[in-house]
DNA sequence: GCGGTTGACTCAGAAATGTACCA
DNA sequence: GTGGTACATTTCTGAGTCAACCG
């Protein structure tokens, strides 16, 4: 993992790849699929039709009913129309996409019904594409590329209440593409008749391909897979930084507690914000341009309206009630008892302010991170999230693992430890649509298993009685096999019950994000080694590839 | 020297797809 | 053996973080 260290900022010496795979060109609808305007059939120009199909494909989705979505879509759609179409189509509500929508549904259905051979053919084609474009050579290694396919055109769907939802995401052409590779590599060729926007040779960055996206004007990249050396090393570094924080976190905590008393308002705000980031694992909270994105916040951008102060609540003193939308418009709701000083400071910060005013008006992420940099090299707000997540996993594993448990029960403990972290980081998911049903199915399985167990026990009992009377080898053997049957069923029942508990507790919680991004994998690897749990029970194939470095490195006595 | 902007990277949940299991 | 369903995995791409840059 440490074969060669590069000088500061150099990411590679040699980089060769085949460039991106473009989205397939638009295929016009068959003649018999109609679009209606104001009740009348209307044949659209190819460009207008393509954009119309984007809308038609989403027709069942809730956001096609949202006013902002419709407004943005219609505005961008009109830009693609011929002047004739533009003068005819003046109202989206008069557009009827249902026939188009039905056509696409039928297509989806037909795809599902394809024969094995046809499916196999598609699979092979994908594999060929992956083989040709999915890998690059970086220095001496062949590495997997993460997203070598360029995003196809479509309608922008932001998360939450996004002001730009419904806008047209335009088709990316070779002329938009910047290629990054080394000078002495075989430079990828653009599709026939096209040119790249630029070919550059910048070994201070890790991306292979980039383009500017038209909704936010931000840059998108093609980079390597998490299993690659360059990503793995960075990941490892991240956890090493968090481990360095472990060594000085007590000092930092004492420091910010002192700062709650500072004469300077700026210092007090910084100290309270840092307390939240540390205690609640909040994100830093950069400022965002108003009207460009959904209205979400993190710690430094919290507004007065996002917290409520309760001098007393449910028998606890100094409770802060948080209610705000964070990254991806996921709601953060939490009632937290805080120290008196923090509480008093918050009261002070909120004095004479409007609900929409910043809670920390003298603070931003840049000020905070500069301060953190002084406390420890490489320390930023997000390191606290990594540190607290990993240390929580380690503690919880110690606490919850029962040496006498069997493997499924130990894995439940692991999942619970993982869950504690996901809750800390507020990683949520929409409860699966079929949750109630699947829970009921599982319960009926458990009930059936219980009955089966009762039966098996009865059989065992009568076999025992029988053996007592007969006293022969054959009936003894029967007793033994009945005993085994009971045991087997008991185990199966237990497994089911564990599964039910696990699933219930996991209803609204997403474990994946913390597992993939916040938990030092060496903790998990060490735990597996210590308790003889096969690593496959914890990490699937992709995860094992991503964490290969940790699986290689960590021994059972690893301490975060 | 500073405040805003840009670039490069990590992190995020939904949706699509694949697979295993069961009737 | 088959087809359908539930669950797991993969893909997709949007949304953050943070530091360098620039006027």
pLDDT beyond 60 at A3 = no
For chain A, give every domain's residue range. Answer: 15-22+119-225, 35-113, 231-378, 389-553
Task: Name the pLDDT band for A5 (thresholds 50, 70, 90).
Answer: low
Distance A342 CA to B2 C1' (A): 31
Residue with nearest Cα to nucleotide B7 C1':
A219
Question: Tens digits of per-residue pLDDT, A336-371?
Answer: 999 999 999 999 999 999 999 999 999 999 999 999
Backbone φ and ψ of A303, nearest 5° = -110, 165
Please tell me the class of the A231-378 domain.
alpha beta
Q: Is A518 a catalytic residue?
A: yes
Alpha-carbon distance A14 to A492, whole Å?
54
Angstrom distances, CA of residue A125 to CA of A128, A132, A176, A458: 5, 11, 26, 58
pLDDT band (50, 70, 90) for residue A2: very low
Task: Write the DSSP assignment of A287-356 as a string of letters.
Answer: ---TTTS-----STT-BGGGEEEEEEETTEEEEEEEEEE-GGG-EEEEEEE--HHHHHHHHHHHTT--TT
Query: Which nucleotide lies nearest residue A217, CA to C1'?
Result: B6
Quick one: pLDDT at residue A4? 55
pLDDT winner (highest mean) among A73-77, A444-448, A472-476, A478-482:
A73-77
Residue carrying structure tokens 């100094």: A318
Question: Residue A257 CA to nucleotide B7 C1', Å?
Answer: 36
CA dihedral (A431, A433, A437, A442) in degrees, to 10, reads -50
Tell me which of A152-156, A248-252, A277-281, A401-405 is least confident.
A401-405
A493-505: average pLDDT:
69
In this predicted structure, the answer to whether residue A1 has a pLDDT above a threshold of 50 is no
Position A435 scores a pLDDT of 66
| Under 8 Å between Cβ of A302 and A285 | yes
Q: Indicate the CATH number of A15-22+119-225 among 3.30.1370.60, 3.90.180.10, 2.170.11.10, 3.30.930.10.
A: 2.170.11.10
Q: Where are any strands of DSSP class E within A110-188? A: 135-138, 141-144, 154-155, 168-169, 178-180
Nucleotides of C under 7 A from a protein CB: 6-10, 12-19
A16 neighbors A137 (Cβ within 8 angstroms): yes
**CA distances from residue A441 to A269, A307, A454, A492 in whole angstroms, order as listed:** 51, 41, 20, 16
Among A103, A133, A256, A518, the one annotated catalytic: A518
Distance A235 CA to B9 C1' (A): 12
Contact criterion met (CB below 8 Å) for A397 and A487:
no
pLDDT (0 to 100) of residue A498: 65
Structural class in CATH, domain A389-553? mainly alpha
| Structure token digits, residue A203 | 């070994």
Number of CB atoms found within 10 A of residue A487's CB: 12
Q: Which residue from A381, A391, A360, A281 is spatially nearest to A326, judged by alpha carbons?
A: A281
Provide the b/e sequence for A511-550 (b: ≥16 CB within 10 Å): bebbbbebbbbbbbbbbbbebebebeebbeeebbbbbbbb
Nucleotide nearest to A62 (CA to C1'): B14
Beta carbons of A104 and A56 less than 8 angstroms apart:
yes
CA angle in degrees (0–180, nearest 5) for A249-A254-A255: 95
Fold match flag (A231-378 vs A389-553): no
pTM for the model stands at: 0.85
Provide the CA A287 distance to its chain's centre, in angstroms.
22
Q: What is the pLDDT of residues A425-449, one digit of tens each?
A: 898 877 766 666 666 666 666 677 7
Would you state the CATH architecture of domain A35-113? Orthogonal Bundle (1.10)
Nucleotides of B under 7 A from a protein CB: 5-15, 18
Going by their DSSP bridges, the two strands A178-180 and A198-200 should be labelled as parallel
Query: CB–CB of A506/A415 below 8 Å?
Result: yes
The chain-wide mean pLDDT, for chain A, equals 89
């Amino acid at each position: 993992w440490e074969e060669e260290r590069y000088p500061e900022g150099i990411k590679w010496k040699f980089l060769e790849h085949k460039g991106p795979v473009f989205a397939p060109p638009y295929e016009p609808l068959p003649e018999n699929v109609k679009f209606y305007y104001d009740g009348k059939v209307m044949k659209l120009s190819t460009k207008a039709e393509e954009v119309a199909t984007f809308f038609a494909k989403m027709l069942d989705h809730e956001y096609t009913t949202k006013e902002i979505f419709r407004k943005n879509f219609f505005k961008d759609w009109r830009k693609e129309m011929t002047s004739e179409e533009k003068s005819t189509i003046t109202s989206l509500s008069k557009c009827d996409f249902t026939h188009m929508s039905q056509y696409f549904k039928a297509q989806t259905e037909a795809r599902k019904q394809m024969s094995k051979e046809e499916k196999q053919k598609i699979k092979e084609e994908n594999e060929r594409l992956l083989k040709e474009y999915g890998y690059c050579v970086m220095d001496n290694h062949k590495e997997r590329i993460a997203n070598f396919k360029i995003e196809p055109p479509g309608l922008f769907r932001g998360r939450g209440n996004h002001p730009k939802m419904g806008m047209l995401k335009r088709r990316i052409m070779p002329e938009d593409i910047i290629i990054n590779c080394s000078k002495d590599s075989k430079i990828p060729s653009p599709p026939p008749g096209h040119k790249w926007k630029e070919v550059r040779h910048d070994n201070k960055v890790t991306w292979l391909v980039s383009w500017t996206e038209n909704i936010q004007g931000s840059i998108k990249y093609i980079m390597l897979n998490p299993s690659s050396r360059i990503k793995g090393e960075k990941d490892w570094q991240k956890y090493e930084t968090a481990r360095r924080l472990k060594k000085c976190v007590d000092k930092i905590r004492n420091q910010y507690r002192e700062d709650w008393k500072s004469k300077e308002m700026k210092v007090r705000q910084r100290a309270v914000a840092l307390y939240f980031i540390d205690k609640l694992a909040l994100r830093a909270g950069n400022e965002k341009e108003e009207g460009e994105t959904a209205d979400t916040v993190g710690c430094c951008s919290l507004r007065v309206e996002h917290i409520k102060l309760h001098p007393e609540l449910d028998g606890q003193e100094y409770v802060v009630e948080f209610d705000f939308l964070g990254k991806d418009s996921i709601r953060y709701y939490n009632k937290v008892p805080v120290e008196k000083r923090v509480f008093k400071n918050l009261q002070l910060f909120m004095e004479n302010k409007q609900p929409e005013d910043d809670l920390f008006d003298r603070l931003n992420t840049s000020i905070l991170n500069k301060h953190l940099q002084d406390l420890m090299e490489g320390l930023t707000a997000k390191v606290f999230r990594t540190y607290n997540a990993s240390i929580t996993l380690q503690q919880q594993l110690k606490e919850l693992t029962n040496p006498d448990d069997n493997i499924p029960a130990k894995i439940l403990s692991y999942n619970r430890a993982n869950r504690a972290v996901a809750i800390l980081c507020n990683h949520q998911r929409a409860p699966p649509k079929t949750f109630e049903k699947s829970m009921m199915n599982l319960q009926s399985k458990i009930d059936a298993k219980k009955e089966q167990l009762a039966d098996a026990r009865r059989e065992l009992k009568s076999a025992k009685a029988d053996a007592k009377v007969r006293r022969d080898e054959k009936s003894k053997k029967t007793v033994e096999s009945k005993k085994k049957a009971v045991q087997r069923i008991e185990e199966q029942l237990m497994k089911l019950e564990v599964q039910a508990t696990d699933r219930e507790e996991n209803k609204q919680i997403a474990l994946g994000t913390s597992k993939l991004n916040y938990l030092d994998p060496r903790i998990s690897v060490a735990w597996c080694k210590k308790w003889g749990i096969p690593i496959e029970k914890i990490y699937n194939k992709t995860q094992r590839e991503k964490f290969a470095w940790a699986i290689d490195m960590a021994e059972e006595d690893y301490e975060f």
